[in-house]
């Protein structure tokens, strides 16, 4: 039985998700279809990649992942199917694989499969689904198209460490309005080296000076910083909506400033 996931920026008020699912089930009646999310910001490839990166390993080997974000095809960004870690990813080669797979994969092929529709505005339904069905039925990837020798790097958002500072961005705002950043625990500990620090949200307007194990380690509505199960720095207000209350959006800057050994990194000493 095929397992097929869908990640998109369609939202849920339109018919797009239903049309894609119906097309899959018409050809694979026993398929299990999983909605990863349809709430990716329009054309936000980095957010889509970050989301799928943090859940695809939870699926069984052989799972097929359809990624419907920025699906317009061009000579530089063709439609592709990629195999990595025993799973399959169908998307446009728009740089998303640098976010999902960190550039590590087993095989990649350009999709050279004719779609059944004369319209070219719904590639997910008319082309990606066709490829997913081929894979589910056991066809080799070589039947789908020619090898793609190199995937587009895309410019992944990496936190930058320099001069006793880590500068990152908000990669995702979850349904609780918590901020998930691109600052990994590994990078944080490497740069921290046991030093005190200040985490800045919206410049110096909101700050936190410790890493907690739980949201409940602070009082209600206080700012808390934790490393989530995804391994990245997460910022939240205990039982409140941080992003909405503080006017924070994806791609907002988050800074961690470490004590340089000359003074304690308080707001007075930093600014």
Q: What is the pLDDT, as a whole number, of residue 120?
A: 67
Q: What is the pLDDT, as a whole number, of residue 261?
A: 76
- What are the structure tokens assigned to 111, written together? 């999709």
CA–CA distances in Å: residue 66 to residues 9, 24, 169, 243: 12, 11, 26, 29
Q: What is the pLDDT, as a whole number, of residue 155?
A: 65
Q: What is the pLDDT, as a whole number, of residue 205?
A: 80
Q: Spell out, as residue ranges, where the chain has pLDDT lower than 70.
A: 118-120, 155-156, 262-271
Q: Partners of 5 in the beta sheet?
A: 34, 65
Topology given in CATH for the domain delimited by 3-143: Rossmann fold (3.40.50)
Distance CA 48, CA 100 (A): 8
Distance CA 245, CA 194 (A): 32
Run of H or E residues at 268: helix 267-270
Q: Which string of DSSP letters, residue by residue, matches 13-72?
A: SSSHHHHHHHHHHHH-TT-EEEEEES-PPTT-HHHHHHHHHTTGGGSPTT-EEEEESS--
Query: Per this entry, what is the length of the chain?
Result: 271
Residue 166: which of 135, 187, 181 has the closest Cα? 187
Topology given in CATH for the domain delimited by 160-270: Elongation Factor Tu (Ef-tu); domain 3 (2.40.30)
| All CATH 3.40.50.10790 domain ranges in the chain, comma separated | 3-143
Contact 48, 98 (CB under 8 A): no
Residue 128: burial class (beta carbons within 10 Å; 0-12, 13-18, 19+): buried
In the chain, what's the furthest Cα-to-Cα distance? Answer: 68
Contact 235, 223 (CB under 8 A): yes
Which residues 6+ apart lie within 8 Å of 262 measured at CB? none
- Outline where DSSP puts E strands in 127-244: 160-162, 165-173, 179-184, 197-201, 206-208, 223-227, 232-237
* CA triple 142-27-53, angle to 5 deg: 60
Contact 63, 87 (CB under 8 A): yes
Contact 100, 153 (CB under 8 A): no
Q: What is the pLDDT, as a whole number, of residue 263?
A: 54
| All CATH 2.40.30.90 domain ranges in the chain, comma separated | 160-270
């Amino acid at each position: 039985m095929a397992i097929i996931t869908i990640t998109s920026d369609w939202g849920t008020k339109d018919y797009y998700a239903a049309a894609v699912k119906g097309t899959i089930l018409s050809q694979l009646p026993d398929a299990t279809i999983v909605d990863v999310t349809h709430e990716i910001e329009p054309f936000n490839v980095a957010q889509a990649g970050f989301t799928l990166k943090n859940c695809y390993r939870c699926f069984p080997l052989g799972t097929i992942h359809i990624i419907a974000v920025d699906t317009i095809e061009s000579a530089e960004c063709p439609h592709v199917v990629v195999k990595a870690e025993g799973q399959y990813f169908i998307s446009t080669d728009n740089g998303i694989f640098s976010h999902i797979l960190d550039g590590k994969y087993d095989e990649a092929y350009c999709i050279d499969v004719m779609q059944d529709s004369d319209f070219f505005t719904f590639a997910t339904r008319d082309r990606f689904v066709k490829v997913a069905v081929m894979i589910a039925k056991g066809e080799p990837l070589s039947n789908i198209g020619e090898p793609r020798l190199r995937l587009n790097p895309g410019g992944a958002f990496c936190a930058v460490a320099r001069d006793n500072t880590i500068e990152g961005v908000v990669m995702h705002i979850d349904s609780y309005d918590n901020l998930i950043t691109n600052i990994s625990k590994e990078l944080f500990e490497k740069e921290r080296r046991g030093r005190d620090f200040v985490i800045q949200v919206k410049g110096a307007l909101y700050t936190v000076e410790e890493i907690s194990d739980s949201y409940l380690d602070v009082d209600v509505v206080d700012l808390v910083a934790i490393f989530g199960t995804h391994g990245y720095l997460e910022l939240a207000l205990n039982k409140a909506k941080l992003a909405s209350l503080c006017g924070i959006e994806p791609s907002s800057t988050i800074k961690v400033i470490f004590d340089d050994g000359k003074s304690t990194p308080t707001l007075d000493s930093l600014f």
